[in-house]
Structure 1
Amino acid sequence: MTSHAQGPVAAISRTPLTLKLTVAALAGAGILSSASVWAQDAVPADSTSVVTVSGVRKAAQSAQTIKRNADEVLDSIVAEEAGKFPDKNVAEMLGRITGVQIRRENGEAREVVIRGLPGLVTLLNGREMFTAGKEGRSLYLADIPAAMLQRVDVYKTQGAEMVEGGTAGVIDVRTARPFDAKGFTSSIMARVENRDKSKTNDPNLSGMISNRWKTGYGEIGALLGLSYQDGNYHDEVTWNSPPKDRAADLGAGISAPDELGHVLYQGQRKRVAGNFAVQWRPNADLELFAEGISTEIHHDAERQFYVGALGLNKNSSYTLIPGTNQVQTVTSPNSNPFALGSTQAPHDYSLGSQGAIGARWNVSPGWRVTTELARTLSKVRQEYPIVDLVAAPPTITGNTYVNGGAQFSYPGYDMTNPNNYRVATFFDNHSHSEGRSTDWRADATWSPENDGFIKEVSTGVRVAKRNAAYVHELNGFQPAPGNIPLSSVPGLACNSMPMAGDYGMASWVTPCASYMHDNIGSLRKLFNGTGARTEEDRLSQFNNQETTYAIYTKAKYGFRAGDIPVDGTIGVRVVQTKGVLSGYSQANGVILPVSSTPSSTDVLPNATLKAMILPDVQARLTAGKSMQRANFDQFNPGVSYNVPSTTVQAVGTGGNPDLKPIEGNNFDAAAEWYFAPTGSLTATLFRHDFKNYILTSSTKETYNGIVYDVNRPRNMSKGTLQGAELSYQQFYDKLPGWLGGFGLQANITYMKGDLTDTGGVLKPFVGMSRLSYNIVGLYERDGWSGRLAYNWRDKYVDTFNYRGLGFDLIVDPIKTMDASLSYKISEAMSLTVDVENLLDRKYHDYHGVASNPRDIRRYDRVVGLSLRYKM
């Protein structure tokens, strides 16, 4: 598709080729990579020995060492061998970490929350990384393939030296570097995935090569990694609309949905990713590096919707769900119910790159200086055409509550006959967003020669300038200009894709996604007569420039309290944020540019204490303050005011450039017992207190002498989240014979929390499950290794006051099981079979109470076969 960027978005637009050449040029000049490569030093020195890992035990041991020695509360996942993880991407592997919850959809893990909260910072090698979008604050973690990774660290608390911006925590993705290995290493993995519902066999290929050399100019290392993923998926949904009182049609106290329906998702996602790293150590005291990563994604999808009205009237016959006044089965004869078949055909394109250069210099025995300069670029484009077809069957028979979903059919009417449909509406939707940042930091560390109370003092500065821009279409909705029989548009009609479940009507006619992609100009001409693309909506457009200046100081201390060694840190980070926000407002039909220049200064103290109560038992206390900036679209300074009259209320909608950062005061207390190199039992209590939480609400505001009810995001809430985490890990080496290969990882998290809504009512956080746990069985012996991972997540609220109807949308508990089995054919070659979604999990949500279902969703079961060769 051709991009039609205008205005501020166009100002930062780049073609994919230009973007790649920019990254390559910077890398060649030694300016590319990220700003916190040396932030790996935030993990204590003796934990950085985890670079070379071999096998499940070694990976577990390395992750345990990182957790034990870290200043902050964190959990890690480490590669079993260079480039080898049990999952395909970062988001999928995070679901097994204590306190982390994910949601899988559209063929992969998508949403990631830490301790029930979405406000997290995503880092790549310690440097901020993001994916452009309306919000655009964080990285879409599924875009980072596992083949490039060395480990992933999940911080529940934050040190003063870490990049600010998250109240939930920090996810730091660490890629491999050539100095991680002793010499030459390489690996290549070929994988094929069979998906049962999409009925496809998808190829994945990845490889990495790394080496280091001693030369007359010092030691030099170079690494190159490449990854290609081609993934198809099929999700299917059956749904009920919210129940309504049907006293006028069915009788007093009876409720029923207006419509039932299906949504079938079919998509293909192609990812190509590459990373490189170069390190040069001219002498023992100086090291320089350049590294970069780039990921390009093409995602074509077809989403087939069906909406069937129940045609409820006084002639409808029905039965009730036992014990309720909710309709279960209904037949509405000769009611001519509304019936719609629709196809959404989005094409998404995304390109994200980051590159950096940096250096570390041991100035003297007690002084070390590091610096980094990074450049990050991200572009996301979407074309999203939708075409609706309508039919007029005379009678419908429906069942609103079958295994949490719905069934319906049309007796005596052929819903697969294109002659029974007409073309009704067209939505010419599109959007694009751009993001770029330049990020520089410098740090200095002093270690005193004498062994006193102060063990180390570090200080540093960071300057980052970031741009974010976004725009979408202006009123893409276009009704048909008169009656258009479907048969008059050759090639537009397709049968819906097959469904794995039994939902009554097995198939219907829907627009062909391929036709919509290939004939978008003809569709536009059919509806608007010109073929012109819908123009962009200036009221949706914004261009945010955000500059941050940060400085921190951190001291490590240590002493003995009797026979107990105690150490810890104390530090403070001060960050000033300055914004230049541009957008458009509308009043009385006139659109004018608007701008704002907000600024804020945040002081973020942090302290930790760790006491070695016994040689293998330590207690940990942390306290600190964190902050989270509003999403970029929430900052949009534009407001749209309607034209009020005696019959039209004065209302407005918009963003809020005056939003303050959300503040979090965080407290953690932990007890940790490390009884073996791969054996531990840890418990953590935590509490987070928030203020300035952002909620969207309507408040009266005066503009040009008129009082409007303006709906916009505002700082108007506070909240508290508290809970406990318990984690256990052990390999049972002392069991006899082959039984000694077994191991177990288990963790459980309990949380409760309240957020005060706009009416002063306490409600739980959206997306927070009170209870979640993981149980992972491990095995490794005589060339065999395997794992069986079970994840359970308690119910949670998806949306409060769903569609303003007075009840909440609640998601049932989610149960997931994955398995893998590997055999080492030789020292260089291994074969792996894995199964994702072993239990054929279902996602089920409901309107307030379980007897009022909304969705039942089913996903692919994926069987993968991988062959890996390493040298």
Structure 2
Amino acid sequence: MTHFPLGRVAPAHTSFTLKVTVAALVAAGLLSSASVKAQEAATPAADIAAAPAPAAAPAGQDVNVVTVTGMRSAARNAQAFKQNNEQVVDSIVADDIGKFPDKNVAEILGRITGVQIIREAGEASNVVIRGLPGAVTLLNGREMFTAVSRSLFLADIPTTMLSRLDVYKSQGVDMVEGGTAGVIDVRTNRPFDFKGYTASVVTRAENRDKSGATDPQVSGMVSNRWKTAYGEFGALVGYSYQRGRYQDEGAWVGVPLSLEQGITGPDTLGRVMTSGDRKRWASNGVLQWRPNADIEAFAEVISTRIEHDAETNFLVGQLPFNKGATITKIPGTNYLQSISKDGADQWTLTSTQGRRHYSRTTQAAAGATWDVNEQLRVKTELARTISKFRNANPIVDIVGYLPNVSGSIANGAGTLNYPGGDITSGANFFLEKFFDQHSHDEGSSTDWRADVTYEPANKGFFREFSGGVRIAERKAASIHGIEGAVTHPGAYSSRQVMVNSIPGFVCGSPATAGNYGISSFVVPCASYLLNNVNDLRQTFTGSTTPNPEDPLSYYADIEKTRAVYGKADIAFNAWSVPVDGSIGLRAVRTEQDLRGNSLINNAVVGASTKTSSTDYLPNVALRAKFRDDLQSRFTWAKTTQRPVFADFNPGLVLHQAGNTTLATGTSGNPNLKPIESKNMDASLEWYFAQTGSITGTVFSHEFKNYIRRKSTPETYDGVTYDVSRPYNTTDGKLEGIEIAYKQFYDWLPGWLGGFGLEANGTYMHGGLTEPDGKVNSFAGMSKWAYNLIGLYERGDWSARVAYSWRSRFVSEYAYRATQYDLVVDPMKSLDASLTYKLTKNLSLTVDGTNLTDFKYKDYHSVPDLPRDIRRYDRTVGVALRWKN
């Protein structure tokens, strides 16, 4: 083991790896000397999987103090899975059906070492592993996706369906390829997971403070198994319904400009208020059959449906520069601090973006496992996935001229006031522009795989051989309406249409919870936009005909993959230290047939591109067991990540400049190459108790063909647009370390023995090399991140308190093609839940998220040039859980 060629695998990082590994070893040594009594009393963790019953209590100890159920059972099972897996993996196991305080899979992921999330639009959605977005998402080991995306939208899967959630930091050759950051595998319940008849019902009410809404959530599951003359059968059905009305608020500051008096600052300030009503249904059904001890078959289906009405209300307040305004600067700088002007008669815009989303995804799968004999096992599986997404997005801008205006910048936000003017009255605003936007996406796939495992009768160096094939065909198609605005024929003339003259058209924006000047402003009603779109078309264009679809936005991609892999499990002794692991290779042939449209000589011409490539993905995973409870792990793998389908689209879509937008364009690149990554992980893991461990992992990713977008000026019909196109950039690398600690303090006396703690932290550095040689960290990557989770379980009580923190990060470089990067301040979150068992079968849970009312802040390169301050809902939920 000590002679494994680390240097040849990743020579650029050997020094870093050795330093951090030594540090981790020293830390483990210090901790082991401090915790030797706990270690001596613990059952060897290697025996957990084989003997899941709790260890016997030492003599004289109350055997009723520690009951290995609930949180302890979940922690024990997750720890056993991590310890015995050949890959570097972290897991969360359901401690009881529907008992997670989080509502969806994305929110749970934020508790896992090295994983960060961002909550917006009422829930967690944006998930990165070790600062990188390139994770492949699987459902029960199979590829699943939403519409034309590469991944499953994790917020669509309710936690009540979960059996286990696995986050693989290293990827085995037997896994579906496609993720350079890792693999997220969502495992759902099956009837053979339970001893017999099992039923559960969870009802929950959730209140959100910004939206002021209280909404229902209901889920249920019934499972049973029967022994018959034809073998054992099992059946499970599950259902979940969630409604969530939410409100996000933001106060924004425009991009810094060179203004009068040598001042650098924005020429606009504003608000953005987003609210929505999301309804989500999910259901699953599973059948299992075991005709004899050697054969097991299954069939399962899972379906999700989302109906989501939302609106975003904008306020764009133009500041009165060049009008003799009173201006001040932030002391010691040339940055704008405040500006005010009476009699400015200032142009002011408000807008509503109405959104009506409908999404439906269904996956059906069937498969079987056959133990041919004691040495040979065969598995096969066939899956079919269909996903659709529709979006209606009407937008209306209205304009008014306010007599007086004042604005200031302080505490990372912009404050805007209109003294003497009523910004809440529709009598002061007229119709200006209408955007008739809509889109439609579809995706489908057929996926078949077969795997064979052979164990030699006489095991020596080689312990097991396995191999398999996977054949998949994925289709994706997308099109949206021609983008652009239609100006009302009476705008800026004597024929202006004041918005208060249209019945049902005027609403007030939601009031802000923070103090950013004015609290509310007049806006078009989203309900009017969504339900009376034909009236809007008639008003602005004189016709009820919808905006036509844009042929340049259309693309259809057929992607065929053929994969084959082979793997050998090995075991040997290195200087009396047992070592086991695997070596393997996966070969993947990818063929793409891309169809779209291009603009040639001002004419739309069909375009077709066919590409093919073959990738060879080797993998090495080794584990050295120094003791039953102390082991070290090393993995090295090459992985690939295919571009999203929209990035291949050759069509060019142009967006004309408006009052608040620049002239821009977007296009794809059919010649994009997949991202390649060579990933290395080295860990030291000490499992000192059944529910106690300390682990440290050093990791390194080396990237090739990483995909970035850049904007360049391009002129069409005499108009210059900033056109964004994707491209494969130069090499990049990411290095870091993860440390995690988990333990229940069962040895403490009395009620103190119910406490437990999970703590994990991640440090990362590295990035992409720019054309000028500068290395920029990955967009969205925090250098530091940690989670602290306090646990308690004793008798009828259980509780969790979870605090997450991540350091500042760059969300976008060269923001809006300027010299400024968009930097996000540190993010933090405090969530908690408390459960009491009312009876053997019934429990009551109270939970809350965002308890500290976190404020998201970002800025243009320096804090004195802020961009956004955002606030999200603080939620409190009450749930009743019944299980037979």
Q: TM-score, normalised by structure 1?
A: 0.91
1:825 aligns with 2:838: yes
**Deviation string, structure 1 residues 223-280 (Cα, Å, up to 9, x no partner):** 000000011101110010012111xx3x13x212111111111111000110011000
**Identity rate of aligned residues, in percent?**
55
In the TM superposition, residue 639 of structure 1 has moved relative to its aligned partner by 4.9
Question: What is the one-letter code of the residue matched to 2:558?
Answer: Q
In the TM superposition, residue 640 of structure 1 has moved relative to its aligned partner by 7.1
In the TM superposition, residue 130 of structure 1 has moved relative to its aligned partner by 0.4
**1:266 & 1:702 partners in 2: Cα distance?**
38
In the TM superposition, residue 410 of structure 1 has moved relative to its aligned partner by 1.1
In the TM superposition, residue 54 of structure 1 has moved relative to its aligned partner by 3.5
Counterpart residue number, 2:607: 594
Please show how residues 165-180 of structure 1 align to structure 2 within 5 Å.
165-180=178-193
Counterpart residue number, 2:515: 502
Deviates more, 1:683-692 or 1:324-333: 324-333
1:470 aligns with 2:478: yes
Please show how residues 357-368 of structure 1 align to structure 2 within 5 Å.
357-368=366-377
Asked if 1 retains the 8 angstrom alpha-carbon contact of 2:180 and 2:640, the reply is yes
1:783 aligns with 2:796: yes
Counterpart residue number, 1:459: 467
In the TM superposition, residue 443 of structure 1 has moved relative to its aligned partner by 0.4
Question: What is the one-letter code of the residue matched to 1:468?
Answer: A
Counterpart residue number, 1:90: 105
In the TM superposition, residue 318 of structure 1 has moved relative to its aligned partner by 2.1
1:582 aligns with 2:595: yes
Question: What is the one-letter code of the residue matched to 1:444?
Answer: V
1:605 aligns with 2:614: no
In the TM superposition, residue 588 of structure 1 has moved relative to its aligned partner by 1.9
1:118 aligns with 2:133: yes
Counterpart residue number, 1:104: 119
Aligned length: 810
**1:499 & 1:50 partners in 2: Cα distance?**
52
**What secondary structure does 1:392 align onto?**
strand
**Deviation string, structure 1 residues 150-172 (Cα, Å, up to 9, x no partner):** 01000000001000001000000
Find the partner of 1:443 among 446, 451, 458: 451
Find the partner of 1:187 among 175, 200, 212: 200
1:432 aligns with 2:440: yes
Question: What is the one-letter code of the residue matched to 1:411?
Answer: P
**1:829 & 1:654 partners in 2: Cα distance?**
55
**Deviation string, structure 1 residues 6-43 (Cα, Å, up to 9, x no partner):** xxxxxxxxxxxxxxxxxxxxxxxxxxxxxxxxxxxxxx
Asked if 2 retains the 8 angstrom alpha-carbon contact of 1:587 and 1:640, the reply is no
**1:322 & 1:155 partners in 2: Cα distance?**
50
Counterpart residue number, 1:281: 290
Please show how residues 657-806 of structure 1 align to structure 2 within 5 Å.
657-697=670-710, 712-806=725-819
Pick closer, same or farther for the CA change 1:383–1:711 going to 2, 3 Å. Answer: closer
Counterpart residue number, 2:307: 298
**2:50 & 2:247 partners in 1: Cα distance?**
41
**2:322 & 2:758 partners in 1: Cα distance?**
57
In the TM superposition, residue 653 of structure 1 has moved relative to its aligned partner by 5.9
Question: What is the one-letter code of the residue matched to 1:846?
Answer: Y
Counterpart residue number, 2:91: 76
**1:617 & 1:653 partners in 2: Cα distance?**
53
Deviates more, 1:611-620 or 1:317-326: 317-326
Counterpart residue number, 1:265: 274
Pick closer, same or farther for the CA change 1:445–1:57 going to 2, 3 Å. Answer: same
Find the partner of 1:66 among 60, 67, 81: 81
Counterpart residue number, 1:550: 563
**2:713 & 2:349 partners in 1: Cα distance?**
39
**1:734 & 1:50 partners in 2: Cα distance?**
20
Find the partner of 1:622 among 635, 644, 653: 635
Question: What is the one-letter code of the residue matched to 1:273?
Answer: A
**2:274 & 2:592 partners in 1: Cα distance?**
40
In the TM superposition, residue 45 of structure 1 has moved relative to its aligned partner by 12
Q: TM-score, normalised by structure 2?
A: 0.89
Counterpart residue number, 1:533: 546
**1:524 & 1:652 partners in 2: Cα distance?**
25
Asked if 2 retains the 8 angstrom alpha-carbon contact of 1:697 and 1:758, the reply is no
**Deviation string, structure 1 residues 477-502 (Cα, Å, up to 9, x no partner):** 11111122213322211122222112
Question: What is the one-letter code of the residue matched to 1:638?
Answer: G
Question: What is the one-letter code of the residue matched to 1:348?
Answer: H
Question: What is the one-letter code of the residue matched to 1:96?
Answer: R
Find the partner of 1:213 among 214, 222, 226: 226
Pick closer, same or farther for the CA change 1:835–1:364 going to 2, 3 Å. Answer: same
In the TM superposition, residue 615 of structure 1 has moved relative to its aligned partner by 2.3
Deviates more, 1:412-421 or 1:141-150: 412-421
**What secondary structure does 1:346 align onto?**
strand
Asked if 2 retains the 8 angstrom alpha-carbon contact of 1:581 and 1:637, the reply is no
Deviates more, 1:476-485 or 1:573-582: 476-485
Asked if 2 retains the 8 angstrom alpha-carbon contact of 1:178 and 1:210, the reply is yes
Q: Unaligned stretches of 5+ in structure 1?
A: 1-43, 643-650
In the TM superposition, residue 562 of structure 1 has moved relative to its aligned partner by 3.6
Please show how residues 151-162 of structure 1 align to structure 2 within 5 Å.
151-162=164-175
In the TM superposition, residue 699 of structure 1 has moved relative to its aligned partner by 8.4
**What secondary structure does 2:730 align onto?**
strand
Asked if 2 retains the 8 angstrom alpha-carbon contact of 1:51 and 1:181, the reply is no
**Deviation string, structure 1 residues 620-670 (Cα, Å, up to 9, x no partner):** 00001000001101111335799xxxxxxxx99632212111100011100
1:308 aligns with 2:317: yes
Deviates more, 1:79-88 or 1:738-747: 79-88
Pick closer, same or farther for the CA change 1:47–1:237 going to 2, 3 Å. Answer: farther
**Deviation string, structure 1 residues 733-763 (Cα, Å, up to 9, x no partner):** 1111100100000000000012022444211
Find the partner of 1:349 among 358, 364, 384: 358
In the TM superposition, residue 314 of structure 1 has moved relative to its aligned partner by 5.4
**What secondary structure does 1:202 align onto?**
strand
Pick closer, same or farther for the CA change 1:701–1:507 going to 2, 3 Å. Answer: closer
Pick closer, same or farther for the CA change 1:97–1:741 going to 2, 3 Å. Answer: same
Question: What is the one-letter code of the residue matched to 1:89?
Answer: N
Counterpart residue number, 1:372: 381
Question: What is the one-letter code of the residue matched to 1:486?
Answer: V
**What secondary structure does 1:574 align onto?**
strand
**Deviation string, structure 1 residues 454-491 (Cα, Å, up to 9, x no partner):** 11100000000000011111124111111222133222
**1:702 & 1:267 partners in 2: Cα distance?**
38
**What secondary structure does 2:731 align onto?**
strand
Asked if 1 retains the 8 angstrom alpha-carbon contact of 2:203 and 2:881, the reply is yes
**What secondary structure does 1:474 align onto?**
coil
**2:746 & 2:654 partners in 1: Cα distance?**
70
Deviates more, 1:292-301 or 1:322-331: 322-331
In the TM superposition, residue 417 of structure 1 has moved relative to its aligned partner by 1.9
Find the partner of 1:416 among 424, 449, 457: 424
**Deviation string, structure 1 residues 797-822 (Cα, Å, up to 9, x no partner):** 11100011111001100010000000
**2:135 & 2:269 partners in 1: Cα distance?**
37
**1:641 & 1:508 partners in 2: Cα distance?**
31
In the TM superposition, residue 49 of structure 1 has moved relative to its aligned partner by 9.2
In the TM superposition, residue 696 of structure 1 has moved relative to its aligned partner by 2.6
**1:178 & 1:164 partners in 2: Cα distance?**
29
Q: Unaligned stretches of 5+ in structure 2?
A: 1-45, 55-67, 491-495, 656-663
In the TM superposition, residue 698 of structure 1 has moved relative to its aligned partner by 6.5
Asked if 2 retains the 8 angstrom alpha-carbon contact of 1:218 and 1:281, the reply is yes
**What secondary structure does 1:717 align onto?**
coil
Find the partner of 2:529 among 506, 509, 516: 516
Asked if 2 retains the 8 angstrom alpha-carbon contact of 1:659 and 1:714, the reply is yes
**What secondary structure does 1:414 align onto?**
coil
**What secondary structure does 1:577 align onto?**
strand
Counterpart residue number, 2:14: none
Question: What is the one-letter code of the residue matched to 1:681?
Answer: I
Question: What is the one-letter code of the residue matched to 1:86?
Answer: P
Question: What is the one-letter code of the residue matched to 1:350?
Answer: S
Deviates more, 1:655-664 or 1:172-181: 655-664
**1:386 & 1:46 partners in 2: Cα distance?**
58
Question: What is the one-letter code of the residue matched to 1:862?
Answer: T
Asked if 2 retains the 8 angstrom alpha-carbon contact of 1:431 and 1:470, the reply is yes
